[in-house]
Amino acid sequence: MSLDALFRPRTVAVFGATPRPGTIGHQVVRNLVESGFTGQVIPVNPRGEAVCGLPAVTSLEAVPGGADLASIAVRAERVPEVLRQCGSAGVRAAIVHSAGFAEAGPPGAVLQDQCLEIARERGIRLLGPNAQGVQNGDPAVRLYATFTFTPLRPGPVSIVAQSGGVAELLNLHLRRAGVGTRLYASPGNAADIDIADLLDEASMDPGTGVVLLHLEGAADPARLLGALVRCREAGQEVLVLAGGRHEAGREAVASHTGALAASGGLLEALLVRAGARQVQGAREAVDRAVGLSLGPRATGRRVAVVCNAGGTGILALEAALDAGLSPACLEDQTRKHLREGQSPLASIGTIVDLTATAEPPQVASALGGVLSDPGVDAVLLSLVTPFYLDEVALCGSVVEAARGSRKPLVVHLIANPRRPDGERVLREGGVPTYPFPEEAATALSALVAAGDPKGQSLGTDRPTAIGPRPAPGSQEGRWLSLEEAFDLLEAQGVPCLARQGIRNPRDLALPPFPPPWVLKADLPEGAHKARQGAVVRGIASFEDLAREAARLQGRFPGRPLLVQPEVAIGIELALGLLREPTGLWLAMAGPGGPAIEERRGVRFRLCPLSLDEAREALGMGGSGADPLPGVPLEVREALAGAWMTLSRLPSLVPSLRELDLNPLVWTPSGLAAVDVRVRVLPPPGTDAPGP
C-alpha cells in the first residue's frame, strides 16, 4: 500500500495540539507552520483552542473532506478512540507519537495490537506507536511532522532511523555541514510501517541520492535485504549505522527497543549482498553523506594532496592512506605547470605544498592543473585561511576549481572563527568541507567507493526466496560422525585430509598413509577436542597407534576413532555455515584456530556466494582492511574456491543445519580440511535423522 498519505499529504490533522508550548502536539503544529508545509494543518483538541494562529476543531469528523494524515499525540489509552475517529474521517495514514505501548511491557503490547487491528480495519497505514514522525524536504511538500528542532532544509539525503534520537543527530549535523534532507522517518515500535517499508519509499523517491539508515534490529532480514537492494538499484548510496555491533551494545539494543539485534555476521552479509556500506559511528555517517551529496564520484583511488601548510598536508596524506586511498603520481607536464605558476618556495612532491603565501589565483591555478592530471582521480585540499589574505576570494577560487572539474575535490579547512565567510562560501558552492583531515579523507573514500563499478555490483547469486523455518523440538537434528561429515564434504568437492575410521581397536588395520599419525576421538557435538584430551599427535608406529586407540576408547567409550596423517600446521583457516532463525544461510570464512573465537578477520556472506564475492571478502580486491595478513595469494585463492563451493551446500543438502570446518591447513597438495562438525535435521515426516 502506498505511503503517499504519510509523506505527501494535502491535509494534516494534529490530535493533542494545544496552545501550550512544550507539548508534542504544539511542537508538531509549530514545525508544520514554520517549515512552510504546502498543505493544510488542522489542530484537534477538546476545547477547539487555536494553535500557532490556526483555528482548531474538537473532532475531525466535523471537517469536510477529513485529512490525509493524522499526527496523534494523546495519552496511550485514548489512541484507539482517535484511530476510530480517523477511520470515520477518511484518514489514510497516522503517526502515533504517544508512548506506553509494546516498549512498556505486556499491557502496552496488548494496547498496541488493538491499535493495529483498528488501523487495518479502517485502511490506515500506521507509523509507530512511540514514533518521532516523518519529514519531506521536497519543496512541493515541505512536510515537518515530527517534534524535533532542526529546521527543515531540502536536500538529497533521506534518513531512516529506528531511533528518533539518532535520526535527529544525523539531521542536525548534516544541516550544519550545509546538506539538507529529503525524506526523514523514525518508526518507533514499527507495529505496521517498518524500516523495510520506509526504505522502499525512499527507493521510489527521485529526489533521494543518499540513504542514511540507522538499524538496531532485523526482525525480517529477507525484507530488509530486498529493500536495500531496491535502493541500490535506484542508484542510491546506502550508508548503514548499526547499533548492537558489540555484545554489550546488543544487550542495550534489546532493552531499548525489544527488537532482535542483528548479529554482526548477519548484518555484514546483508549489507555486502545489497551493496550498502556500514559506517562506524554517526560522525562517519555524516561525513560520507556530505561527500556523496556534494561531490562527483571518483573513478579510481589515486588522490593528490594539495595544501598551503606542510604539517596539515602531511596529516591529510596520512588520513587518505588510512582511508584506503593511494597517493597520485603527477605527470611531468603538471609539475612544470605548478612550478611556473607558484612561489619558488612551493614544494611539488608527494604533497603539493603551495605555502601560506599562495594567493587565490595561484590556488585556483594549482587545483586546476592537479585536477586535470590524468593520473589523479581525486584531490584532498588542506587549506588554511591566513589573516593577510581575503578568505572569501581564497575559498571562492576553490569553488571555481571544483565547479570546472568532474573529479571530486574535498577540503579540510582551518578557518578563523571570527571570519566564517570562507567556510560559508565553500558550503554554498557545494564543496564538501570538514574541520579535520580524517573526516575529509573519509568523505573522499566514500566518493571513490561510489564511483567504483565493482562496488556497485549487487551480485548475481542473490537468494530470491527464503526456505521454511525448522520446527522446534525433535527437528533440532543430530551431529554427523566425522566420517559422515568428511564424506559429505568430499562429495561436494571440498578437499579433506586423508583418514581412516576405527570402529574397534581390536580390528585396527595399518593406515594407507605413512606415519606420523594423529588419532582423535569422534566428539562431533563438542568443539575443542584437544582441550578434552581427545587428540593424540606424533604417533610414529603401528604399535603406538594400537595402544593409543585402546586408551582413547577407554576414555571415550562407544565413540568411533579417526586416524589422519600429521601435517605441519602453519596457516590455519576456517569455513562455516549457519542457518539463521529467519531461514537465511550465512557462510563464514577467516583465520582458524583460536583466532576464530575472537572473530579477527572473520567474514560473513549470504549463501550462495560467487567466486568474485569470496575473493573480495578475503582481501583479494585490493581495498579495505586485510582479513588474512601474511596469507599467500595461492592460499587465499584456494580458500575462496572452497568457500564458494561450501556456500552452495544448503541448497544441495536441505537437511543441513550447521557446519563448522576448522581448521583447514595448507599442504603440499593444497588446502585440506582437518576437522569438521556437521549438524543435520531429520528428513520431513520421519523421526530418523540423516543428511
Q: Tell me what the mean pLDDT of segment 135-154 comes to.
A: 97
Position 249 pLDDT exceeds 60: no
Pairwise pLDDT comparison (492 vs 256), residue with the higher score = 492
Buried b or exposed e, range 30-64, using 16+ CB within 10 angstroms? bbbeebebebbbbbbbeeeeebbeeebeeebeebe
Give me 586's grid cell: 550465512
Confidence of residue 244 (pLDDT cuts 50, 70, 90): low
Output phi, psi for 497, to 5 deg.
-70, 145
**Helix (DSSP H) and strand (DSSP E) numbers for the chain:** 23, 30
Strands, DSSP E only, in 17-153? 40-44, 69-72, 93-96, 125-127, 133-136, 143-146
Q: Tell me what the mean pLDDT of segment 474-488 comes to.
A: 82
Spatial CA neighbour of 328 closest among 307, 303, 299: 303
CB 584 within 8 A of CB 221: yes
- With a CB cutoff of 8 Å and minimum separation 6, the contacts of 320 are 303, 305, 327, 380, 441, 444, 445
Q: Tell me what the mean pLDDT of segment 141-165 comes to.
A: 97
Residue at grid coordinates 582441550: 531
Angle formed by the axes of helices 437-451 and 310-322, to 10°?
40
What Cα–Cα distance (Å) separates residue 449 from each residue in 282, 379, 452?
19, 15, 5
Position 646 pLDDT exceeds 90: yes
% residues pLDDT > 90 (the chain): 77
Position 252 pLDDT exceeds 70: no
Position 688 pLDDT exceeds 60: no
- pLDDT at residue number 295: 83
- pLDDT at residue number 448: 87
- pLDDT at residue number 264: 65
Q: Between β-strands 517-521 and 561-565, what pairing exists: parallel, antiparallel or unpaired?
A: antiparallel
Q: 163-222, pLDDT tens digit by residue?
A: 999 999 999 999 999 999 999 999 999 999 999 999 999 999 999 999 999 998 777 899
- Please give the DSSP secondary-structure letter assigned to residue 626: -
Position 137 pLDDT exceeds 50: yes
- pLDDT at residue number 456: 41
% residues pLDDT > 70 (the chain): 90
- pLDDT at residue number 213: 98
- How is the chain split among helix, strand and coil, in percent rounded to 5? 40, 20, 40
Q: 49-62, pLDDT tens digit by residue?
A: 999 999 999 999 88
Position 517 pLDDT exceeds 90: yes
CB 189 within 8 A of CB 102: yes
Give me 593's grid cell: 584456530
Q: 432-470, pLDDT tens digit by residue?
A: 999 999 999 999 999 987 876 554 433 333 333 333 333
Angle formed by the axes of helices 221-233 and 195-203, to 10°?
10
Q: 335-379, pLDDT tens digit by residue?
A: 999 999 999 999 999 999 999 999 999 999 999 999 999 999 999
What's the one-letter identity of residue 482?
A: L
Confidence of residue 478 (pLDDT cuts 50, 70, 90): confident
Question: 211 by DSSP, 3-state: which?
Answer: strand
- With a CB cutoff of 8 Å and minimum separation 6, the contacts of 124 are 70, 83, 86, 87, 91, 92, 93, 94, 118
The total number of residues written for the chain in this structure = 691
What's the one-letter identity of residue 549?
A: A
Q: 541-559, pLDDT tens digit by residue?
A: 999 999 999 999 999 998 8
CB 439 within 8 A of CB 322: no
Strands, DSSP E only, in 394-499? 409-414, 433-434, 478-479
Pairwise pLDDT comparison (528 vs 125), residue with the higher score = 125
Confidence of residue 245 (pLDDT cuts 50, 70, 90): low
Give me the helices (H) in 562-632, please: 595-598, 611-615
Spatial CA neighbour of 21 closest among 51, 41, 48: 51
d(CA 317, CA 314): 5
Please, what is the Cα angle at 128 between 122 and 131, to 5 degrees? Answer: 140
Going along the chain from its start, the domains and CATH numbers come out as: 1-135 (3.40.50.720), 153-294 (3.40.50.261), 297-456 (3.40.50.261), 498-565 (3.30.1490.20), 572-680 (3.30.470.20)
- With a CB cutoff of 8 Å and minimum separation 6, the contacts of 466 are 222, 582, 583, 584
- With a CB cutoff of 8 Å and minimum separation 6, the contacts of 572 are 591, 592, 593, 595, 662, 663, 664, 665
Position 477 pLDDT exceeds 60: yes
What Cα–Cα distance (Å) separates residue 404 from each residue in 178, 198, 291, 368, 653?
21, 37, 17, 8, 58
